[in-house]
Structures are given as structure tokens and as C-alpha cells.
A and B are shown apart, each in its own frame.
Chain A
């Protein structure tokens, strides 16, 4: 009877696979030869696959952005929409979105709403192979951040449309700041969803003083209590502004100088965060940190001491945009939705919940009206809440604040590589 112990363990089998007993030169060469044959055939396999048109991710050349504009047709009746979580109004009890319900009622387009975007790059990683292979990603409308929109446009991954014809409400109601942005001239591929500010948030109890500029983030006094962003565009842009350079004008020398500042700062930094900084700020682990306006607005409800400032040298205004990926099945439905949300009442409805910057200035008044209605109806809590939304600089920034806000630089591929490699050295070593 076979001895179970001897031939059943994984360790023995693996060991046997790799040394099978004694090695003579002959057995080694024979195995190496076999291995080479296997390896060789493995490597020709992708070549065969590629020849058949099945290439590895990224091996397809970018689809030309020619192919005409979408729009001008009848909606198909379905909209498959990918958005960030908690980025649309949501009833507390029923969880339904009034905006989506109203849209569905009015247009009879069924919306398949998915909170599928957790991160720009991660989401991009999931749709890139389909786009590279000129296939349908499965989405009709997605909401990337402006720099990702710029990147996708340069790769030819977004459908183009005539914004004046297809999204007239945008042209009519949106603030000028959002028209003809640097990352998407003439809004040929995108319209804003919500916008926000990248600035500095801090807890005066922990910092002991007011924080006003990027230089405060470099102060050795706060060693181990400073937070920075892991997204290079945010962090480096603030550093560029600190050096007196506008991001869109930055040349290589400027970038290197900014990176030098960041490199010097590195020992003081507690972490290069994505979204997790909010918890650290709330719990007091971070005294001051780069932050997004909407987050701080929310955190202030629980801790009114927290403050958000736009650095003296300048902050960043970023925009999340509704876009249509190439190959989308129902572009007309997407355009219909885009037009719908630029009605001031709808924009107000969304912003009341999401609390990021609304691209439609007219909604501020509407929110104030809603606040008044709530007060009249006896619901003081909602009234207070809505008033705070309407009056918050973080949701409706003043002209002064906007003047000190800048956009990200649209990076060419080479520039992106430079930025990424320099920054990676700082954050990851």
C-alpha cells in the first residue's frame, strides 16, 4: 500500500517538480530545454493572439477621435450611468433619488444608476481595455475628474458632442468658469457634474494658530501631523502655486523645483492620502492637511472647529464631469440627462445633498427659497441645514475665492510620465 505521508504533501510535490532528486547536468539541460520550449511557445501565443486581433491590454492603438459627434437623435429609453457613491441626491428614508425619479417620469428613460467609480485611475483601469479594443465599455455616461477627462480626450476615449445643440441648459445656466475649460475646449466632450476646491483644512486646536498658506504645510513644527494628497496633480499644483507658478504655465524646470519642495517636506508628512485623510483629520491624528471642500463642509457638522482655507498662493478648482465613453450604446439618453440636471431646480436639488460646488449659480437662490419654505413649515432643522448650504463659501464660493483658484495643467504623456516618476520617488521611495 502506498505511504500517504510520502507522496501527498504539497511540499514534496513542489520539491519534486523543482529538483526531482539528484541533478545531473544532463537532467538539468533536458529540463531547461523543456522549459525553454514551453516558454518559447508561451511567448509566441500572444503573438498569435495579437495577430487574431486579441491583444493584451493597452496594445491597441488609440481610436481616432474622428467618427463624428453624437447627439441629435431620439433617446433609446435606457441610460447606464456610472457615478461616484453618494454623489446624487438621496432620500434619507427611501434611498431613492428625486432627480432620477423626476427624470424617469418626464422622459421615460430608465436609468440604471451605478455607484461604480471609487477612484479615477482604478475606474479607468477597468474600462481601458475595452476602449483600447474599440469595444463598448458597458457604460453610457461616466463622471471622471477633469484631468482624467483631459487624458481620455487625448487618447480618443470619449464621444464628442455639440454642447450648444445637445445640452442647451448648460449653455444657459452654468457659470462661466465652467465653460470652455482648458481640459476640454468648448465643452466638446463634457459638462460639469459637481465641482470642488483643493485647499488646506486644519484644526486650530491642534495647530495652535491660523493656517493660511502652503508654507504652513512645510513647517517643521507640525512634523508627523501633516497630510498631503497622493494624487500628483493636486499636490504638485499647490507646490507650483507656492513657488509662484501657475500650473498651466509650468515648464519642466518649474515642476522640478516644485518637486524639490515636496521632497524636502517628505520627512514631515504623515501620509500621502486619497480619501482617508478625512478620518485622520476628524480624529485629530492630522493637525493640518490638504483637503477637499465638500469633505470639510461635512466634517464641520460634527466638529465646527475645523476650518478650510484656500492657500494664499492659490488653490485648485477641480470639476467632475459627465462624459460619454466611446462606443456607448445610448448617447442620446446621456445627453438628455445632462440637459436635465442643468435646470436650476434640479441642480439645487443635487447640491443640497452632495454639498460640493454647484456649477449653476442660479441654484443658490433656490436653496435659500427651500430653506425659507422649511422654516415656514416648522422644520427648523432642515431650514438651518439648507441655509448653511446656501451660505457656505465651500458650496458657493465668493468671487474673491474663485479668483484665487486655478485649474490643473493638462499634461501631455511625456509630462505625465515626468510628474509621475518624480512624485513616485517622493511618496514611495
Chain B
């Protein structure tokens, strides 16, 4: 077989791509095409939906939900920064100082996921409760005002999203950092770079692919997240675009608007990623 493959070398990439690509085409592209057509339909559940090429739906939802769109992007940005700030040092430590405990630490990072999101959130609500053992104690001592609360605020929502996406940032970062040959860093320090310089000039640029992947894995799902806002937030002050999509789809049964918003979100994120790519591209060339 190896010989047969060698003769048709050009085919190899296509063969590799075929199974996964086909899966995505059937189970993603096809449904997405359907969704795109639904976005352009009009109607209701009772009277049925008809395809009217209602392109006006896009400016309509953008105008109506601009606040939620922007808020989601903002929250996603904060989450990305936070997860990077927490995740990078963590991944660095695991990759470079982990030694034989590397895999253990990595598994510890994703262990929370085995316990189901609802349990984790309920636990957080217990920890952060107004009169709970954290805030309650601080209030009793007098360090905090009695009316202070963490839950049902943007802080709680962002913290929730950060907590839940941290592992997804640590893993790609680890993967990128792990492949860096430590001798490169040694070489740099041998050449009189300080440890900080060695980090900034050698390690960081070499790990950029991990930073890129990690920040994408944090930003994009965070922008579309709804469950944290639903369970840890509360009112219009914390409503994200994901909540809007959820409500439009399930409560209002307004499938066209829900689909339109999703399309806008997808396209917006793609554009954002392209811009981000070009910025990072600039960085990489300094290696």
C-alpha cells in the first residue's frame, strides 16, 4: 500500500482530508445552508415560514440588538485577556517545569469538566452567595458593604465564562510551549539575555501559534455563550447575544431572526479573526 501511495503522492492530502471534511460538509455545511435560508424567510410557527429573501432581517436585528452584540464582544475580550493572563503562566509552568507531572497537571486542568457544568455553577453560586461563607464572612467583619453582591453582576458572568474556558486556553498553549526546545532558551541566556529577555524574544514568539489558538478557543465561544449569563447574570444589564438567540429561537419561535443573528455573529467573528491574524502575522515575522 505504501508503494501505491507513493506513486500517487498528490492524492495523499486529499485522502487525509476526505473523512473529516466529508463529515463537516454533511453535518455542518448542510445544516448551515439550511439555517442561512431560514434567516431569509418570514412567517410564524402557526402559519408556516416562507422564503421571501428578506435581506432586511440583517440590518433589523443589528439595530435592535446592537447593545447585546457589543456587550458580548466586550465580555469575550475580557474573558480572553483573563484566560490568557491566567492560562499562559500555567501552561508555561506545566510545559517547562512540569517534568514527570506534566500529564497529571494537564488532566487536573480538565478534570472540572467531568462534573457537569450545572454542578460547577451551582457550586459557584454557593461560594459567591450574598450571605455565603465568602461574602457573608467579609460582610460580618465589616470589610464589605451589606448591599454588595457578586452574583447577578457582569463580574459573575465574566468570571463564570473565564472559569469554564480556562482549560481550553491552557491546552493549546501547553501544546505550543511543549514543543519549544529548551536549549533555545539556554542559548539565549548564554548570549547574555536576561531571563525576561529570553522569554520575550524566544519563548513567547515561538508559542504564538498556541496564543492564537487559545485566544480563539476562548473568544469565539465566549462571544456566543448564553448559559453563564443566564445562570450567573440576571437582567438586561448582563444579557448577551447568545441569550437573545436562545430566546428568539425557543420562546418567540422567531427562527429567521435567530438564524440571522447567528449568521451575523459567525461572519463578524470571521472578520475579527482575519484582522487578528494580520496583527499576529506581523509579530511572527520578528522571530
Query: B215-238: which have CB < 8 Å to A?
Result: 230-231, 233-237
Minimal beta-carbon separation of B171 from chain A (angstroms): 16
Q: Which residue of A lies closest to B240 (CB)?
A: A428
B93 within 8 A of A: no
Decide if B48 touches A62 in the complex (CB within 8 Å).
Answer: yes
Decide if B235 touches A11 in the complex (CB within 8 Å).
Answer: no
A256 within 8 A of B: no
**Residue contacts A-B, CB under 8 angstroms, 20 given:** A9-B212, A14-B273, A18-B274, A42-B36, A45-B33, A45-B37, A46-B51, A56-B49, A58-B48, A59-B38, A128-B45, A154-B46, A224-B147, A269-B235, A270-B152, A276-B231, A280-B125, A427-B235, A427-B239, A429-B237
Decide if B243 touches A428 in the complex (CB within 8 Å).
Answer: yes
Decide if B252 touches A417 in the complex (CB within 8 Å).
Answer: yes
Residue numbers in B under 8 Å from A60 (CB-CB): 48
Minimal beta-carbon separation of B64 from chain A (angstroms): 9
Minimal beta-carbon separation of A130 from chain B (angstroms): 14
Decide if A283 touches B132 in the complex (CB within 8 Å).
Answer: yes
Decide if A284 touches B131 in the complex (CB within 8 Å).
Answer: yes
Give chain B's interface secondary structure class.
helix
Decide if B235 touches A417 in the complex (CB within 8 Å).
Answer: no
The segment out of A71-79, A208-216, A418-426 that lies at the interface is A418-426
A15 within 8 A of B: yes
Interface residue from B51, B251, B278 paired with A121 (Cβ < 8 Å):
B251
Decide if A12 touches B281 in the complex (CB within 8 Å).
Answer: yes
If the complex has contacts A279-B125, A420-B252, are A56 and B37 also in contact, measured as CB distance less than 8 A?
A: yes
Decide if A428 touches B212 in the complex (CB within 8 Å).
Answer: no
Residue numbers in A under 8 Å from B249 (CB-CB): 125
Residues of chain B having any CB pair with chain A under 8 Å = 33-38, 40-41, 43-51, 53, 67-68, 122, 125-126, 129-132, 147, 149, 151-152, 209, 212-213, 230-231, 233-237, 239, 243-244, 247, 249-253, 255, 273-274, 276-278, 280-281, 284, 287
Minimal beta-carbon separation of A344 from chain B (angstroms): 36
Residue numbers in B under 8 Å from A36 (CB-CB): none
Q: Which residue of B lies closest to A287 (CB)?
A: B130
A376 within 8 A of B: no
Interface residue from A46, A421, A426 paired with B37 (Cβ < 8 Å):
A46
Complex Cα distance A151/B16, Å?
49
The 0/1 profile, CB within 8 Å of B marked 1, for residues 114-126 of chain A is 0000010110110
Complex Cα distance A46/B53, Å?
12
Decide if A429 touches B41 in the complex (CB within 8 Å).
Answer: no
Residue numbers in B under 8 Å from A424 (CB-CB): 247, 251-252
Give chain A's interface secondary structure class.
helix
Interface residue from B46, B67, B152, B239 paired with A155 (Cβ < 8 Å):
B46
Residues of chain A having any CB pair with chain B under 8 Å = 5, 9-12, 14-15, 18-19, 42-43, 45-47, 49-50, 56-62, 119, 121-122, 124-125, 128, 154-155, 224, 232, 266, 269-274, 276, 279-280, 283-285, 413, 417, 420-421, 424, 426-429
Minimal beta-carbon separation of B251 from chain A (angstroms): 5
Residue numbers in B under 8 Å from A427 (CB-CB): 235-236, 239
Complex Cα distance A426/B233, Å?
15
* Additional pairs, 13, CB under 8 Å, beyond known A18-B274, A266-B236: A11-B277, A11-B280, A58-B45, A60-B48, A121-B250, A270-B234, A280-B125, A280-B151, A283-B125, A284-B129, A285-B130, A413-B45, A428-B239
Interface residue from A15, A47, A49 paired with B281 (Cβ < 8 Å):
A15
Minimal beta-carbon separation of A281 from chain B (angstroms): 11
Decide if B251 touches A420 in the complex (CB within 8 Å).
Answer: yes
Residue numbers in B under 8 Å from A61 (CB-CB): 47-48
Decide if A155 touches B234 in the complex (CB within 8 Å).
Answer: no
Decide if B149 touches A285 in the complex (CB within 8 Å).
Answer: yes
Complex Cα distance A420/B126, Å?
32
Minimal beta-carbon separation of B144 from chain A (angstroms): 14
Decide if A271 touches B152 in the complex (CB within 8 Å).
Answer: yes
If the complex has contacts A47-B51, A413-B45, A429-B67, are A125 and B250 also in contact, measured as CB distance less than 8 A?
A: yes
Minimal beta-carbon separation of A123 from chain B (angstroms): 9
Interface residue from B35, B129, B209, B250 paired with A122 (Cβ < 8 Å):
B250
Decide if B252 touches A283 in the complex (CB within 8 Å).
Answer: no
Residue numbers in A under 8 Å from B255 (CB-CB): 56-58
Q: Which residue of A lies closest to B35 (CB)?
A: A56
